[in-house]
Structure 1
Amino acid sequence: MASEATAGGGLEFHPMDQFNIEALFGGPITWYTPTNAAMWMILAIVAVICLMVLTTSNRSVVPSRGQSIAELAYGFVYKMVEDVTGKDAIGYFPYIMTLFMFIVCANFLGLIPGSFTPTSHFAVTVVLAMAVFLTVTIVGFVKNGAGFLGLFWVASAPLALRPILAIIEIISYFVRPVSHSIRLAGNVMAGHAVIKVFAGFAAIAVVSPVAILGITAMYALEILVSFIQAYVFTILTCVYLKDALHPSH
């Protein structure tokens, strides 16, 4: 997050440089090249395993801190799935729990200075959103057959409006993975970019105290955003799954 002086005596900093994909060992990037994005995604997976598996391997009546966090996360997501999607969706809880834990761990690891945030890249969030979209669509047809198409037919609307509403519903349905992925990546990227901007101004003595206060405030906000964005992505997944299990309007 360092800034550098330009020839004219000003400051030059590039807030978006922190999102560059770089090879871990140098050289050109190909599909098999280990990159910083791949490394931090693997670290996010390791963090999930450590939190949800290792800390609960020796469960006790009086839980440790790690076990308490794992139990809180489990209960939080379980209640979300049950309340939003219904008891018949509990079978999909492991998938939804995995999504939530991966996103929240990746977001929090990205707050470490000098780290990389994979959820700030559309390449990552689009894959997550498309996985949800395909899963929900397949579940919808498997559970309801042709009845799943009832999701697009608003039977309660006047007959003349139903074809128009059906077109709108179809467009809205296929836009879901786009909005699902952009919401997560856009919010994470924006917060990190703003922190980098404040960090650049921190090098100027006159505005340094204000910039440091700005960094502190934005960092605290990003901690909240990291959790909220994982929650929003997960609860939207639950809403989409509910539509697949109960497609009739």
Structure 2
Amino acid sequence: MATEAKGEAGGLVFHPMDQFIVSPLFGDGPVGLFTITNVTLWMALTIIAVIALMVLGTSGRSTIPGRMQSIGELAYGFIYKMVEDVAGKDAVGFFPYIMTLFMFIVFANFLGLIPGSFTTTSHFAVTVVLALLVFITVTVVGFVKNGAAFLGLFWVSSAPLPLRPILAIIEVISYFVRPVSHSIRLAGNLMAGHAVIKVFAGFAAIAAVSPLAILGVTAMYGLEILVSFIQAYVFTILTCVYLKDALHPSH
């Protein structure tokens, strides 16, 4: 997970951000629009892992579930209850989309913890697309279901009348900032955690601090396992909150 090299002065040199470099999977040429890269590989592995769990793992369904069926059913029930509790029963129709989002993000996060792997959700190019898809979907649903009444989301009727125009401007700005915060939160947390792990791993080569560095790597790795799930959960529950605003703009 760490790459170390001796510098000209004999000191330890490591680059924590090198692990996030997008590189061609075949050859050393430039990365183009249709270039197969390490990102492509690990996104494909993420999709395969989700299919293996949710399709192949539950294909032989039984009254007494096996391990994979139990995990699949647990994930299904967990996200279904989240959608129903947060966004309401009329949002259940969007459950397949939200379930797909959660499974993709959580598997991408966990696969990124494998030594030598690539964390696709640490790149803004990935998380921004996911956040924009949520933003566009929610906006379209809001106008299709409510028409012009969807604009009531930005009008704080409970506030004093002189303050309402100012609050409306703030609400509009905060609405359009949603995809930015939605994407940065996910990518930023994963990037920071992986960078810290690599820093600790780099110091593990120094004999004097090696035990502390190894302890630091172990602690950070355990924390990243927790963060990987929490960030997938946060992204998903925010999607449910935004969907609730689209379905019930007056609430």
TM-score in same-fold range (> 0.5): yes
Partner amino acid, structure 2, of 1:202: A
Deviation of the 1:2 alpha carbon: 2.4
Structure 1 CA distance for aligned equivalents of residues 3 and 245 of structure 2: 47
Counterpart of 1:240 in structure 2 is: 242
Structure 1 CA distance for aligned equivalents of residues 3 and 40 of structure 2: 24
- Aligned residue among 92, 95, 101 for 1:93: 95
Q: Deviations over 1:217-247 (max 9, x none)?
A: 0000000000000000000000000000000
Q: Deviations over 1:140-176 (max 9, x none)?
A: 0000000000000011111111100000000000000
Counterpart of 2:45 in structure 1 is: 43
Whether the 8 Å CA contact 2:122–2:187 is kept in 1: the answer is: yes
Counterpart of 2:145 in structure 1 is: 143
Q: Deviations over 1:51-94 (max 9, x none)?
A: 11100011001111000000000011001001100111000000
Counterpart of 1:11 in structure 2 is: 12
Partner amino acid, structure 1, of 2:186: L
Structure 2 CA distance for aligned equivalents of residues 198 and 65 of structure 1: 34
Q: Deviations over 1:23-63 (max 9, x none)?
A: 00022211000000011011101111001110001100111
Whether the 8 Å CA contact 2:193–2:224 is kept in 1: the answer is: yes
SS at match of 1:53: helix
Moved segments of 4+, more than 4 Å:
none
Aligned residues: 249
RMSD: 0.5
Counterpart of 2:120 in structure 1 is: 118
Q: Report whether the alignment pairs 1:81 with 2:83.
A: yes
Q: Report whether the alignment pairs 1:20 with 2:21.
A: yes
Counterpart of 1:211 in structure 2 is: 213
Question: Unaligned stretches of 5+ in structure 1?
Answer: none
Structure 2 CA distance for aligned equivalents of residues 29 and 149 of structure 1: 42
Whether the 8 Å CA contact 2:3–2:15 is kept in 1: the answer is: no
Structure 2 CA distance for aligned equivalents of residues 243 and 233 of structure 1: 16
Q: Deviations over 1:184-238 (max 9, x none)?
A: 0000000000000000000000100000000000000000000000000000000
Structure 1 CA distance for aligned equivalents of residues 4 and 128 of structure 2: 32
Structure 2 CA distance for aligned equivalents of residues 150 and 130 of structure 1: 22
Partner amino acid, structure 2, of 1:44: T
Structure 2 CA distance for aligned equivalents of residues 58 and 142 of structure 1: 40
Structure 2 CA distance for aligned equivalents of residues 127 and 170 of structure 1: 21
Q: How do 1:193-232 residues align onto structure 2 when only pairs under 5 Å count? A: 193-232=195-234
Normalization by structure 2: what TM-score? 0.98
Partner amino acid, structure 1, of 2:205: A
- Aligned residue among 164, 183, 186 for 2:185: 183
Normalization by structure 1: what TM-score? 0.99
Partner amino acid, structure 2, of 1:68: S
Structure 1 CA distance for aligned equivalents of residues 186 and 74 of structure 2: 23
Partner amino acid, structure 2, of 1:137: T
Quick one: percent identity of the two aligned structures?
80
Structure 2 CA distance for aligned equivalents of residues 209 and 3 of structure 1: 17
Whether the 8 Å CA contact 2:20–2:118 is kept in 1: the answer is: yes
SS at match of 1:209: helix
Question: Unaligned stretches of 5+ in structure 2?
Answer: none
Q: Report whether the alignment pairs 1:160 with 2:172.
A: no
Structure 1 CA distance for aligned equivalents of residues 31 and 101 of structure 2: 27
Structure 1 CA distance for aligned equivalents of residues 248 and 33 of structure 2: 40
